[in-house]
Every structure is written in structure tokens, then in C-alpha cells.
A = this chain, B = another copy of it.
Amino acid sequence: MSGEFSLIDKYFAHKQQNRKDVILAQGDDCAIVAPTAGSHIAISTDTLVAGTHFLADANPAQIAHKALASNISDLVAMGASPAWVSMGISLPEINTAWLERFSNAFFKLADYYGIQLIGGDTTKGPLTITLTVQGTLPEGKALTRHGAQSGDWVYVTGQLGDAKAGLDVILENNISADTSLNQELQRRHFEATPRVLAGIALRDIASAAIDISDGLVADLGHILKRSKVGARLNVAALPTSKELLQFVGSRALAQQYALTSGEEYELCFTVPEANRGQLEVALSNTPFTCIGQLTGTEYIELHNDDAPVDWQLDGFDHFKGNQ
């Protein structure tokens, strides 16, 4: 596989300084890492396929950002610190300009998060990227989906809905007459970044957490299912941007975007009443909003301050075709 290896070598191998816990990176049968005593390892795998998760002619820098950011977002949702990443990538041909842009963007984000590419495999095939990321966290401190309890408060970081509006622009489903607004929303779609510090800060505070990758309703639904609780959410409290309101034209629509927008890389987390004070201190540098409270039911109930809300909302499902 000399052709493949030289390809990997040129664009992917040894572009970063070795982390102290990396004994051996690329170039052997395996990478070798040395976990710190007492630490657990969080591991997540995501696959992105051209035509399913991004357009085949999408900007390679944006594909790289999305692939790595979505994986790191899973680490963040467990409260883990990003450490190592392995990449399996299939390419229809060796396109050096594409590889250059892809790898530059990949390493820019990897360096930002202190995560090291330790190995991988490059093969010929339809454009597909599978990353396995690993992060470390103190033993017993993982933020899971099953720890939430009725009465806990529901929070989200940042603002929701912009990623979906950006996708509208990309797919030309819905475009504003304001070109700079379109560009800004598209940029937010591609440049969303995981809340690593917030995830780490929440380890001792949150009862459950998840990253918003499929949309708030779908992702909060995973917490509810695993924790066997329900939620009552106030749509009027959903944090949305003025750009989103301008783009969709009505508050109700902006709220619906906030409920279903995926690939936000914001966190949804639950906090027991007793920890709410600590939360204000721990997340002093991250915007966050309380959007509701967990209930003893097993479903999500929406209200708009005092008025009931009856919207039909779907999650995101590749096989059902409603991407």
C-alpha cells in the first residue's frame, strides 16, 4: 500500500506535536497511548457520507470541521476532555487540492481542542469519513443520559436554530433576500463548535447531558427515555438569535427551528434544584438558558408561557429520507 501510505504521510501524518500521553502515533500497526491512572476513557464514532451528510462538492474545509466538531461534541456531552482521534477516510481519487484544504482545516480544529490524530486508514472508495474520538475524564464523573430526575431543570447552551437556517440556505430550501444574512447563517452552520469547557465544568453539576446533534426535541428525548422522565418546555424561553427571527419571519417559526435544528453542538443538560447556584458560577463564561423542567410523565409537553402549544415536530432520520 505504498501509494496509500505516502498519501497519508503527506497530508495526515505527524502534522501535530505528540501529546504527552501518546507513546506512538502513526507509522506502526497501531498507535499506543498511555492513559493517566484513575482516568476513564470516553469513545465515540461518527461516520459522514457524501450525499447523505454533506454535498459531494461541499467545501473540504467545512467537511473536515463538521466531521471533527460533531465527534468532539459527543465527548463534550460526556464531560470528557478531547485526547485522541483516529480517521478512516475513503476517497474516490487522490485530489491534492481537496486533501490540502481538508487536512488543514482538520488540524486547525484538532490543535484548537488539543486532540491528536494518532492513526487511520485511507482507502479508495466513495467519499466517506469515519472518526473515532477519545477523551479522558476522572473515574465515575461521566455525564450520562440516564441520570436525570423529575424536578430537575432543563438547560441549553448558546442559541438554537441558526444551524437549520444555515442548512436551508445551503440546500436552497429557503433563502432570504438579504445576502449577508444568508451568508452569516451559512457560516454559523459550518462553524458551530463544541462547548468543551462547559462540558468539563458540568461534570459535578448536571444530572444528565447530551449534545444537540439531531435537534433539541430528539436529543432531549434520548435523555428522557434513558432516565424515564418527561419534560415541560417553555418555547418562549428558547434562546434564538435576531438573525434567525429575521430569516424565518415569525417568533413561532424561530422557536420551531430551535426545537428541531440539528448539528448545533450546543449542550442540553439537566440540573437538580440544589445545584442551580453552582451552575451560575461554573458556566460564567458560557451563555446558557433554562428552558423548562423535568416531569414524571414520559413525554415532552410544550407551552408558550401560559398558552398550550400543539406543533408537529420530527427528528432527523436518514433512512426515512427527511434529511
Contacts and interface: CB of A to CB of B under 8 A. Distances in A.
A317 B1 contact: yes
A88 B46 contact: yes
A196 interface: no
Interface string A109-152: 00000000011111111101010101101010010111000000
Contacts of A7: 319
A142 B88 contact: no
B42 A31 contact: yes
Contact of A317 (B3, B23, B317): B3
Contacts of A40: 23, 32-34
A41 B49 contact: no
A30 B1 CA distance: 32
Interface residues of A, number: 77
A316 interface: yes
B86 A132 contact: yes
A202 interface: no
A209 to B, nearest CB: 8
Interface stretch (A75-83, A173-181, A243-251): A75-83
A211 B34 contact: no
A119 B282 CA distance: 30
Contact of A126 (B28, B49, B318): B49
A113 to B, nearest CB: 15
Contacts of A80: 30
A132 B40 CA distance: 18
B30 A317 contact: no
A43 interface: yes
A119 to B, nearest CB: 6
Contact of A52 (B29, B52, B53, B123): B123
Interface string A228-241: 00000000000000
Contacts of A37: 37-38
B119 A47 contact: no
A7 to B, nearest CB: 7
A119 B45 CA distance: 7
Interface string A75-108: 1011010001011111000100000000000000
A197 interface: no
Contact of A29 (B29, B86, B211): B211
Nearest to A122: B47
A78 B317 contact: no
B126 A29 contact: no
A284 interface: no
22 contacts: A1-B317, A2-B315, A28-B146, A30-B42, A31-B43, A32-B40, A32-B41, A32-B78, A45-B88, A45-B120, A45-B132, A47-B88, A47-B125, A52-B123, A52-B125, A53-B123, A90-B128, A94-B319, A126-B126, A126-B128, A128-B128, A128-B130
Interface of A: 1-4, 7, 23-24, 27-35, 37-53, 74-75, 77-78, 80, 84, 86-90, 94, 118-126, 128, 130, 132, 134-135, 137, 139, 142, 144-146, 209-211, 214, 218, 226, 315-320
